Amino acid sequence: MKVFLNGIYSRSESLIKATIDFERKRIKEEEVIKRYEEDYKNIFQIQEGLEYISDGLLNWDDLLRPFSEIFEGIKVNGLKRYFETNFFYRVLYFEKKIKINENKIEGWIEKYFKIKDNSKRLLILPSPLLFKEFSEEIELNKICDLMIEICDIIISKRKGIFFFEDPVIVRRKIEKEEKNILKNFYKNLYKKGYEIIVQTYFGKVRGILNFLFSLPLRGIGIDFLRNNIDEIKKWDEEKILVAGCIDCENSYIEKKRDLQNFINNLKDIAKEIYLSGNCDFLFLPKKIADEKFNLLKKIK
């Protein structure tokens, strides 16, 4: 059984305190960097032995804000609640002329994609639909064009598998035009030889699963807090099943026996299964996140 550390991971209390203290000019930047290094060390330790490695996106405030640093013609404009959580995303406001600032690419990659010498790396990004959900004055097709440019830049510096987070696709009706745009987006990435996983969460997958099967994806993630096994029994065996079976919205620690029984019921559905959180671990205190993730690694 294999495991993904998906999404933005929880920060330690010492790192959270250090970032607040730095913003209020109580400590120097060197102290914050030290705390980040400690958290990065921990994030790599808990993934020791895994096939694919994530840096935990520890310095990502949310999945969109880093892009405001590399796009010209974009402003950060207010807050919007991140679905039914207690977290908020900054909304990105796009002006008419948008382009990537090439002078900032090297520093941007170094800042937000920490793992350098590892081709088995998770490159976690917002899906085009998630990007659109928290953006203003930009159409979905334009977002897809920009994301393809970004993917080309990232993959030229950091080899790995693209892992798109997409709660939107299971939460509302996706119109035919949107499906065509998304299909072209993923086909274009596939033609470039990129491996792609789309992780869905916060909603039921039943109404969109056949569309996801039609896309050239390496794998699909399912939030099993909101979906049951019966809904995915007709699985496309050519695709990885990313089983979001750890509750990242609740501090209750699952019982290993219950998880093992659940996985035993999955094993005949897909040829290849990766276990993950049902969504980002960010919503949990770090101590709880570590305990849940370590439990995930013990499932056989």
What is the average pLDDT across 173-178? 97
Specify the amino acid at residue 111.
Answer: K
pLDDT tier for residue 96 given thresholds of 50, 70 and 90? confident
Q: In the numeric block, which tokens belong to residue 80?
A: 């919007």
Across 187-195, average pLDDT? 97
What's this model's pTM, rounded to 2 decimal places? 0.95
CB 91 within 8 A of CB 78: yes
Residues 128 and 133: their CA atoms lie apart, in Å, by: 9
Q: pLDDT value at position 1?
A: 62
- Tell me, what's the pLDDT at 240? 96
CA distance 175 to 162: 24
Residues 150-175: b if buried by 16+ CB within 10 A, e if exposed: bbebbbeebebbbbbbbbbbbbeebe
pLDDT for 299 equals: 87
Residue % of the chain over a pLDDT of 90? 92
User: What are residue 213's DSSP bridge partners?
Assistant: none
3-state DSSP assignment of residue 41: helix
pLDDT of residue 117: 79
Write down the residue that tokens 């693209």 correspond to.
162
Strands (DSSP E) contained in 130-268 are 135-136, 161-165, 196-199, 219-223, 240-246
Give the pLDDT score at 60: 96
Cα–Cα distance between 127 and 189 in angstroms, integer? 13
Residues 6+ apart with CB under 8 A from 165: 6, 7, 63, 124, 125, 126, 127, 130, 199, 201, 280
Residue type, 43: I
Question: What pairs with residue 221 in β-bridges?
Answer: 199, 242
Distance in angstroms (rounded) separating the CA atoms of residues 299 and 273: 12
pLDDT digits (tens, 9 = 90+) for 203-237: 999 999 999 999 999 999 999 999 999 999 999 98
Residues 6+ apart with CB under 8 A from 250: none
Average pLDDT, the chain: 95
Nearest partner of 2 among 294, 276, 295, 281, judged by Cα: 276
Q: Is the pLDDT of residue 288 over 90?
A: yes
Q: What does the pLDDT read at residue 97? A: 84
Contact 169, 199 (CB under 8 A): no
| Residue 300 pLDDT greater than 80, yes or no | no
Report whether 38 contacts 12 (CB < 8 A).
yes
31 vs 15: CA distance, rounded Å? 9
Residue type, 101: N
What share of the chain in percent tops pLDDT 70?
A: 100
